[in-house]
Amino acid sequence: MAPVSKADKKVAVDAAAWMFNVVTSVGIIIVNKALMATYGYSFATTLTGLHFAFTTLMTIVLRCLGYIHPSHLPFPELLRFILFANFSIVGMNVSLMWNSVGFYQIAKLSMIPVSCLLEMVLDKIRYSRDTKLSIGLVLVGVGVCTVTDVSVNSKGFLAAFVAVWSTSLQQYYVHYLQRKYSLSSFNLLGHTAPAQAATLLVGGPVLDYWLTEKRVDMYDYNLVSVLFITLSCTIAIGTNLSQFICIGRFTAVSFQVLGHMKTILVLVMGFFFFGREGLNLHVVIGMIIAVLGMIWYGNASSKPGGKERRSYSLPTTRQQKLGAASDSDDNEGTA
């Protein structure tokens, strides 16, 4: 039996990481939908804080077991990441409240061109014509699937603007920090999850009360709702980890493009689990267009010149360069 090449191993790990992200992301959406729609738990920001609290516990266990090794992330970098990440969560929740579903979906679609702009400006990435066209096809397909009525006001536009830019910056920063400081996904989560859990659990109940006029401590907790909350938090561990793994391996733009496969799966799963969300002809056509665009993007971006860095190197210390040289094979398999 021929030995597995390094390229084949990378493809296999990439595919596994992506499937891990798809399964956990779709799973948590279905569970959260049931939790909020059926059991009335409408405290999205507080729930996200609980997600990161569970993720923090996971990183503590892994550190005790020796799977997470000591690493360094400067406090200013951590603070900047937490700022982007929390503004992303708050911005998305407020945008959904102040905007129509149609404009909310358009705002989410605009994250792809914003992420492209960040890569072109900050990483000096150059895209081929086919890569740009394939991204455009994905946007058209997902837009046909999801965008219906579109109405917007000034404060809704501001919320969407903050949500789009903060989310794009947060996802770009995941890839940036992993490369610059040679951090695995586990290491980066070990630095960021505790800070996000603390800030969201403190500020989340206040924001949720402002958005829903309901207090999280007054919710009628029962066995079933607590089980759903626990299940949501457990799946979130995999979602948070897989997001860091995928962005570390694929970059933020590829993560966004391929991420719309999850939007399509959610539509399909919604049809099977929540029958009132039927699939009509224009949704099916949109799905087909989006999938074709994703296949085209994967092919176009992998070709020579499809997506390449012109001239850019991250500033690293001599020690980091030596460490990266010795650990490059390990990082390629885990981050």
Residue 218 DSSP label: G
Q: Is the pLDDT of residue 269 over 50?
A: yes
SS3 content of the chain, % helix, strand, coil (to 5): 80, 0, 20
Q: Is the pLDDT of residue 157 over 80?
A: yes
CB atoms within 10 A of CB 334: 17
* 172-190 burial code (b ≥16 CB/10 A, e <16): bbbbbbbbbbbbbbbbbbb
* Cα atoms in the Cβ-side hemisphere of radius 13 Å centred on 282: 7
* Cα atoms in the Cβ-side hemisphere of radius 13 Å centred on 330: 12
pLDDT in tens, 12-47: 887 888 888 888 988 898 899 889 888 999 899 999
pLDDT in tens, 103-116: 887 888 888 889 99
Residue 311 DSSP label: S
Band of residue 299 on the pLDDT scale cut at 50, 70, 90: confident
What pLDDT shows up at residue 330?
40
pLDDT in tens, 69-103: 889 999 999 999 999 999 999 998 888 888 877 78
Please state, in angstroms and rounded to a whole number, the distance separating the CA atoms of residues 127 and 125.
7
* Cα atoms in the Cβ-side hemisphere of radius 13 Å centred on 31: 22
The structure tokens listed for 264 are 């399509």
* 260-291 burial code (b ≥16 CB/10 A, e <16): bbbbbbbbebbeeeeeeeeeeeebeebbebbb
The structure tokens listed for 41 are 């738990």
**DSSP helix/strand/coil, 126:** strand
pTM for the model stands at 0.79
What pLDDT shows up at residue 256?
81
Q: What percent of the chain has pLDDT over 70?
A: 86
Burial of 247 (0-12, 13-18, 19+ CB in 10 A): buried
**Least confident residue range of 117-126, 162-171, 281-290, 320-329:** 320-329
User: DSSP per residue over 60-120, as a string?
Assistant: HHHHHTTSS------HHHHHHHHHHHHHHHHHHHHHHHHS-HHHHHHHHHTHHHHHHHHHH
In terms of average pLDDT, the best of 13-17, 64-68, 177-181, 267-271 is: 177-181
Q: Is the pLDDT of residue 279 over 90?
A: no
Q: Is the pLDDT of residue 311 over 70?
A: no
**Least confident residue range of 1-10, 145-154, 193-202, 226-235:** 1-10
In degrees rounded to 5, what are phi and psi of residue 300? -70, -40
* Cα atoms in the Cβ-side hemisphere of radius 13 Å centred on 108: 23
